[in-house]
Amino acid sequence: AQSVTQLDSQVPVFEEAPVELRCNYSSSVSVYLFWYVQYPNQGLQLLLKYLSGSTLVESINGFEAEFNKSQTSFHLRKPSVHISDTAEYFCAVITYNNNDMRFGAGTRLTVKP
Amino acid sequence: DTGVSQNPRHKITKRGQNVTFRCDPISEHNRLYWYRQTLGQGPEFLTYFQNEAQLEKSRLLSDRFSAERPKGSFSTLEIQRTEQGDSAMYLCASSLFSSNEQFFGPGTRLTVL
């Protein structure tokens, strides 16, 4: 079965600094990859996804992630973070042939002024 | 449509009691998923429906758990004889058959005393 590892449980950064949240996955078959964001006391919101095509995907609020098949990674990046980006971020993977979405343990991003 | 809704948002119960949660998916979505999320972890897949058919169940779904989606619209998740280990956030998500993008509800937080 597929699995996801998020290498950092907490990432503190200062406002306007760049950030990278790391995600590695394991699967014997082709996958779809997702990043979800969860603000306090709210459900998960889809941030961006890789299904096929260009390996670099972007969100509307400045985040981007690159699918690297050889390194089995899907790291999330933002060149300049805002206080409002403070949240929990989850990487998730689903394989082509089932609907069992597997999530990483999450990375808590804290943006400080 | 306002998205996926879940009721109640919070539930406190005593050990041994039965509880039932409801999920209303986005109206045109024919797939519905249940996940469990414990503190500091990502969501864990429990089960999923395509229309009214329950197509997959995780090994996490013990005999005390049962889920239904009788008319292919809303779904209920019942936990019988609750245990303290059942305390978690229970998340519901829905998607179109043709899409792997899942839309999540706000969750039901269960506390078993």
Nearest-Cα distance to chain A for B79, in Å, is: 21
B70-102 tens-digit pLDDT: 988 999 999 999 999 999 999 999 998 877 788
> What tens digit of pLDDT does each residue of A15-40 get?
999 999 999 999 888 889 999 999 88
Residues 84-103 of chain A with CB under 8 A from chain B are 90, 92, 94, 98-103
Residues of A in contact with B43 (CB under 8 A): 44, 90, 101, 103
pLDDT at position B56 is 86
HEC string of chain B equals: CCCCEEECCEEEECCCCCEEEEEECCCCCCEEEEEEECCCCCCEEEEEEECCEEEEECCCCCCCEEEECCCCCCEEEEECCCCHHHCEEEEEEEECCCCCCCEECCCEEEEEC
